[in-house]
């Protein structure tokens, strides 16, 4: 049985480093982009972003002053037993303690409409739980714990659209390209773009956020989806927005798409723009052991 204390412990370990240590796959992508960038000013900006990441890791200072909201995703294997009683309170307590201990900016308000005062704790944690389908292997007995810090600048530039089911892949590409043109500079490019296609109005945004957890360079499982990812990435970079929105070849580092079934009359599409400081960690919990791979494939 995996308990709330097991999950809270994993999230606490993530929060020790997550604000100041950029994921290695993203740091590598920035370095490759710097080498391949054709605009000297853009290459210089990419070099500054790399230097910022290296300094943050050395000093423990946050990568960005917006330390974001805390999103925790739990993906439970078909056979894993999870006792989630009191989990929300336990996670909120971990966040409050971690943000105070590491001097991170508290960025939440008590209520988006009726009480926009700051509680000073950065709670609540935005918690999502997903029961995975049986795979017939060890993953059926695992709980995957993902923690992400997501700032408002990139979230505010994201979108959700209910397309007509007759819409084509070209329409989806145009939707993403238009969004990046309109709002991409506000999301601190170079971007990592998570796209959710399918499910329902209330679930498709979660798909787009889950897409951001995939390691850069890891393509979608289906060839057609992988080809669409590369097609969108090429067209986004052809815009010329560039790092910091000041021009160049590197507007986005990657495009990741997650798909799901949907109603025959619907084609939900959510586009979750994320800045170059994509701050996330993932761990696997088992009832009898704890596995902590840096990058869960």
Query: Exposed, middle or buried, 168 (CB in 10 Å: 0-12/13-18/19+)?
Result: exposed
Q: Provide the pLDDT confidence category of residue 288 given band limits of 50, 70 and 90.
A: low
pTM: 0.94
Q: By three-state DSSP, how is residue 207 classified?
A: helix
Q: Which residues contact 124 (CB under 8 A, 6 or more apart)?
A: 88, 92, 95, 108
Q: By three-state DSSP, how is residue 94 classified?
A: helix
Write the DSSP string, 256-269: EEEEEEE-TT-EEE
| Burial per residue of 19-40, b for 16 or more beta-carbon CB atoms within 10 angstroms, e otherwise | bbbbbebbbebbeebbeebebe
The per-residue pLDDT for range 225-284, each reduced to its tens digit, is: 999 999 999 999 999 999 999 999 999 999 999 999 999 999 999 999 999 999 999 999
Q: What is the mean pLDDT of the chain?
A: 95
Helix axes 223-238, 169-183, angle to 10 degrees: 40
* Through-space distance between the first and last CA atoms of the chain, rounded to whole angstroms: 24
Whether residue 89 is predicted with pLDDT greater than 50 in this model: the reply is: yes
Cα separations (Å) of 20 from 55, 135, 176? 9, 35, 29
Between CA 9 and CA 292 the distance in angstroms is: 12
Between CA 285 and CA 8 the distance in angstroms is: 11
Question: Which residue in 125, 58, 118, 129 sits closest to 97, CA to CA?
Answer: 125
Structure tokens, 244: 């910091």
Between CA 12 and CA 6 the distance in angstroms is: 10
Residue 231, CB-side half-sphere exposure with 13 Å CA sphere:
15
The per-residue pLDDT for range 6-46, each reduced to its tens digit, is: 999 999 999 999 999 999 999 999 999 999 999 999 999 99
Q: Would you say 247 and 209 are in contact if contact means Cβ atoms under 8 Å apart?
A: no
Between CA 17 and CA 292 the distance in angstroms is: 14
The per-residue pLDDT for range 156-184, each reduced to its tens digit, is: 999 999 999 999 999 999 999 999 999 99
The per-residue pLDDT for range 109-143, each reduced to its tens digit, is: 999 999 999 999 999 999 999 999 998 888 899 99
The per-residue pLDDT for range 180-227, each reduced to its tens digit, is: 999 999 999 999 999 999 999 999 999 999 999 999 989 899 999 999
Q: Is the peptide bond before 124 cis (omega within 30 degrees of 0)?
A: yes
């Amino acid at each position: 049985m995996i308990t709330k204390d097991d999950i809270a412990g994993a999230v606490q370990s993530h929060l020790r480093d997550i604000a100041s240590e950029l994921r290695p796959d993203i740091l590598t992508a920035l370095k490759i982009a710097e080498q391949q960038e054709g605009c000297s000013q853009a290459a210089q900006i990419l070099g500054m972003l790399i230097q910022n990441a290296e300094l943050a890791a050395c000093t423990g200072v946050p990568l960005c002053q917006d330390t974001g909201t805390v999103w925790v995703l739990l993906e439970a294997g078909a056979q894993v037993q999870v006792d989630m009683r009191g989990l929300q309170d336990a996670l909120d307590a971990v966040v409050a303690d971690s943000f105070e201990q590491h001097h991170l900016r508290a960025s939440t308000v008590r209520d988006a409409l009726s009480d926009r005062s700051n509680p000073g704790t950065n709670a609540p944690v935005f918690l999502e739980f997903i029961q995975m389908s049986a795979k017939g292997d060890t993953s059926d007995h695992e709980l995957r714990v993902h923690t992400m810090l997501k700032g408002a600048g990139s979230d505010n530039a994201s979108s959700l659209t209910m397309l007509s089911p007759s819409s084509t892949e070209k329409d989806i590409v145009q939707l993403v390209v238009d969004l990046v043109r309109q709002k991409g500079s506000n999301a601190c490019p170079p971007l990592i773009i998570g796209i959710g296609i399918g499910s329902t109005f209330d679930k498709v945004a979660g798909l787009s956020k889950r897409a951001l957890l995939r390691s850069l360079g890891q393509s979608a499982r289906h060839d057609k989806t992988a080809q669409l990812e590369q097609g969108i990435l090429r067209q986004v970079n052809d815009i010329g927005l560039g790092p910091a929105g000041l021009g160049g070849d590197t507007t986005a580092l990657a495009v990741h798409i997650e798909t799901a079934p949907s109603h025959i009359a619907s084609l939900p599409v959510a586009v979750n723009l994320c800045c170059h400081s994509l701050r996330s960690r993932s761990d696997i919990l088992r009832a009898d052991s704890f596995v902590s791979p840096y990058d869960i494939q």
